[in-house]
Structure 1
Amino acid sequence: MYRIGEFAEMTGLTKETLRYYAQMELLVPVFVNPKNKYSYYDNHSFLTARLLVYLRRFDFSIQEMLTVIHDRSLFELEEILKEKKVALRQRIVETEAIVTEIDEFLEMGD
């Protein structure tokens, strides 16, 4: 088992993020020492942590991450990622439309 500091270093997550993820029940320590309140993680926790790192990088919200971890099977991960990709592409289209509107607005002022 790994203490929170070791685990943070291994996963690339900060200790604060790990504490927040525990509070949100995204990644709960496998053991918390009742005497000193140190949190411990295991190898399974490592896999979950790495998945969470990627989900954040892929612009998943905390709520979306909770859905992946708790409500939907990891066997559905490919489908979930495809859905996210479609949503991100739509957001790009919408953002480009807004940029065009800004340009048009600025041109009206000239």
Structure 2
Amino acid sequence: MYKISEFVDITGLSKETLRYYAEVKLLEPAYIDPLNNYRYYDDGSYFLAILLVKLRSFGFTIQEMISVMDDKSFANLEKILQQKRNTILLQIDNLTVKLGELDEFLESGKEND
């Protein structure tokens, strides 16, 4: 079992994030000591925390992460990751178009100088 301070060190998540994740039922401590309310995490918690860190880095919202975590078997994880990948590709396409339009606009302003 890991104390919250140890868990913060090995996962990179802040204490505040861990408390919030517990509040929204995203990642709950494996054990809470009833005497002092200290939170403890186990190796299973570590696996889930690392998954959440990765999902967050991929731009998943809290609600999307809850959806992933609700599927305890992770049977749909690949499908969800593919959907996120497609969303990112679409965003890249949209930003590329906007960048082209911005470049054209800048160039048109130079012609008037």
Paired position in structure 1 for 2:4:
4
**How many percent identity over aligned positions?**
49
Give structure 2 stretches of 5+ with no counterpart.
none
Partner of 2:41: 41
Partners of 1:82 and 1:72 in 2: CA distance? 18
TM-score normalized by structure 2?
0.86
1:16 Cα offset (Å): 2.0
User: 4+ residue runs of structure 1 moved beyond 4 angstroms?
Assistant: none
- 1:57 deviates by 1.6
Distance (whole Å) between structure 1 residues aligned to residue 99 and residue 35 of structure 2:
56
Which amino acid in the other structure matches residue 24 of structure 2? M
CA RMSD of aligned residues (A): 1.6
Paired residue for 2:86? 86
* Distance in 1 (alpha carbons) for counterparts of 2:105 and 2:24: 42
Aligned length: 110
- Counterpart residue number, 2:27: 27
Match of 1:16 in 2: 16
Q: Structure 1's 72 and 33: CA in aligned 2 closer, same or farther, altered over 3 A?
A: closer
Once the 2 structures are TM-superposed, how far is the Cα of residue 64 of structure 1 from its aligned partner? 0.8
Q: CA deviation at 1:108?
A: 2.6
State the one-letter code of the partner of 1:43.
D
Equivalent-residue separation in structure 2 for 1:79 and 1:70 (angstroms): 15
Which runs of 5 or more residues in structure 1 are unaligned? none
